[in-house]
């Protein structure tokens, strides 16, 4: 069981020490990346949670540009989510083709909308605001295709609830740094990072880790020579520095 107070031996203990040191390192990484990429503030006017859920489903296995293009195309073709819900999946797939995996995503979107409507009698997720984070996560997890990252994004950015979404960039960067274990899953990484990072920094660090993963800490060939957080990074010290000595 993870906790903010005493920590847990299940959290990765990397080169710089135990949990309290990992928390301190996470703060240093957050500070450096904020200086490098700017502070990311969440809007006081939060996005509609249903809109965020649909947008996040569209984001799976594609980039932000194509995700947004697919979303705009979908809303242009179907102005209301009720229109999507009663449409044929082939029509929906045609509208979101630019986002990739259109046949899979169209069925997933329709299924999710039908589930919500069947459970609540209407397409509205505002009721989630009255639940606890644990209850929200459990309710959203009932829907096929709504995984841990998607649930965390809805919770953090639309409901203002503590959740640390972990996508492929966040997973890769935090693993190289040493904040999480080398074999840890994305779902487990969300739990660990939610312990190591102050809640006030969840959205800021999440977004800046993604930017850093795209710009510097890339999958195939990380640009360690220009990395502003290399002093905090296990990969840099253990793989590159030691490899040269």
Phi then psi for 244, rounded to 5 degrees? -95, -5
Catalytic residue from among 149, 175, 221, 242: 149
Q: CB neighbours (10 Å) of residue 120? A: 12
Coil vs helix vs strand at 14 = strand
Nearest alpha carbon to residue 35 among 234, 228, 243, 235: 228
Q: Which two tokens stand for residue 101?
A: 């995996």
The answer to whether 149 is a known catalytic residue is yes
Q: Is 41 exposed, middle or buried (0-12, 13-18, 19+ CB in 10 A)?
A: exposed
Q: Which residues pair with 14 in a beta bridge?
A: 17
Tell me which residues are annotated as active site.
149
């Amino acid at each position: 069981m993870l906790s903010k107070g005493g920590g847990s031996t299940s959290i990765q203990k990397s080169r710089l020490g135990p949990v309290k040191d990992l928390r301190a390192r996470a703060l240093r990484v957050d500070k450096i990346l904020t200086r490098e990429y700017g502070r990311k503030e969440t809007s006081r006017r939060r996005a509609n949670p249903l809109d965020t859920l649909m947008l996040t489903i569209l984001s799976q296995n594609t980039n932000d540009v194509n995700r947004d293009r697919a979303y705009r195309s979908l809303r242009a073709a179907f102005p209301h989510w009720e229109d999507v819900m009663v449409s044929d999946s082939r029509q929906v797939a045609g509208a979101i083709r630019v986002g990739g995996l259109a046949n899979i995503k169209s069925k997933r979107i329709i299924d999710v909308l039908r589930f919500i409507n069947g459970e609540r009698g209407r397409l509205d997720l505002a009721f989630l605001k009255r639940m606890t984070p644990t209850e929200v996560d459990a309710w959203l997890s009932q829907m096929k295709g709504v995984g841990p990252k998607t649930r965390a994004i809805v919770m953090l950015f639309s409901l203002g609830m503590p959740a640390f979404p972990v996508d492929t960039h966040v997973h890769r960067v935090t693993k190289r740094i040493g904040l999480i274990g080398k074999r840890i899953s994305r779902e487990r990484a969300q739990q660990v990072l939610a312990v190591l990072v102050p809640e006030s920094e969840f959205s800021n660090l999440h977004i800046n880790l993604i930017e850093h993963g795209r710009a510097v800490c890339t999958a195939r060939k990380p640009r360690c020579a220009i990395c502003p957080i290399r002093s905090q990074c296990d990969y840099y010290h253990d793989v590159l520095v030691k490899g040269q000595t």
